[in-house]
Each structure stands twice: as C-alpha cells, then as structure tokens.
Structure 1
C-alpha cells in the first residue's frame, strides 16, 4: 500500500464511504479505486486527487497533504545512478533488494540519515 492509498482509505472509512460508493462518485470502477488504494496502480493524476478532495470535503492542509502523498506514492520508483560513483550504484541496488525486509525502526533510522544528508 502506498502512503496515498493508506491515507485515502483512512479518510474514506472515517467518512463512512464504501469503496463502491466513492468509485461511483468519481466515475471509476471499484477495482481501479481499490488498486489505487493498495498501490497496484501508478500515482493518481492531479485532477483525480482534486476530485477526491472534493468528495471527501478536504480543504487547505488536508488537501495539500493528500496532494503531497500522491506525488510521493508511485509504486515503481526509478533511481538513475548514471554518473554516480560505483559505491552509490551498489547502495541503490542493495537498498532495492533489502527494502521489503526493513522494519519501522530501520525505516526511521534511514529516513533520519537521508534527511540529515539533504540538510548538509
């Protein structure tokens, strides 16, 4: 499940909307909306995100959060290591191979390291 899918599902459930009802309001199939929630589809278009925000009654900060999550929720991430060092290319491959085996603590530590590296 992607961050966008998890948030969408939680918002939909909090409002008592079934998957089928929301899909009908969006003029989508239930299967597509389910796949979007579970990360089996690429990120939604900005227009679809805006429609979802409208149906869920999201404004300001909540709408911006959902838009931000949509941008960061493509289930297939491409890392271009062209022009980087061999060590960086190796790290990218090791990360890809290990990602499914990380626990929440590991993820938190890695995110902290990455955040610190961006702040340098």
Structure 2
C-alpha cells in the first residue's frame, strides 16, 4: 500500500463510501481505484487528485496533505545518485536491498531522522 492509497481508503471508510461508488463518481473503474489503494498503481495525476479532493469536499490544508502524500506514493522508486560520492550510491542500493526486511519501528526511526535533517537544512536557509 502507498501513503496515498492509505489516505484514500481512510477517507472513503470515514465517509461510508464504497470503492464502486467513489469510482463511479470520479469516472474511473473500481479496479483502478483498488489498484491505487493497494499500491499497484503509481502516483495519480493532478487532475485525479483534484477530483478526489472535490469528491470528499476537503479543505485546503487537508487537500495539501493529500497532494503531499500522493507525491510520496510511487511504489517503484528510482534514486539517481549520478555525480554523488560512492557512499550515496551504496546507501541507496543497500536500502533497496534491505527495505522489505525492515521492521516498522526501524522505518519510523529512519523517517524521523530524515525529517529532522531536512528540517534543520531548511531552517539554515
């Protein structure tokens, strides 16, 4: 499952809407919506994101969150380390090799560490 799929499923369930109902309202097939929710499809288009936000009538902040999680929801990621030191390439390859075996708490810890680093970098600008 992707972060976007998880968010859509949560919104759908909170509002008591079936995949079939939502798919019909958005002009997509239930199979496509299911594939999005289960991480078998890549990032949705901007147009689709707008239709989802409109369908659920969500406010700007919540829509921004939905758009943000969609940007982090491509199940097949390519990490371009061209021009970076060898250690960066080694890290990207190691993560690709090990990610399926990481326990959830390790994923949380790594994500929090990255969030702190990005926050400090942005603060320094």
TM-score by structure 2 length? 0.90
Equivalent residue for 1:68?
68
- The answer to whether structure 1 residue 54 and structure 2 residue 54 are counterparts is yes
Moved over 6 A (4+): none
Distance in 2 (alpha carbons) for counterparts of 1:53 and 1:114: 28
Distance in 2, Cα, partners of 1:35 & 1:43: 11
2:20 corresponding residue in structure 1: 20
Segments of structure 1 that go 5 or more residues without pairing to the other structure are: none
Secondary structure of the residue aligned to 1:22 is helix
1:112: Cα distance to partner? 2.8
RMSD: 1.2
Task: Tell which deviates more after alignment, 38-47 or 110-119.
Answer: 110-119
Q: Residue by residue, what CA displacement relative to the aligned partner does 1:65-106 show, whole Å, maximum 9, x if unpaired? A: 111111111111110111111221111101011111112211
Cα drift, residue 61 of structure 1: 1.4
- The residue number in structure 1 matching 2:89 is 89
**Structure-1 separation of matches of 2:90 and 2:21:** 46
The answer for the alignment partner of 2:30 in structure 1 is 30
Q: How many residues align?
A: 120
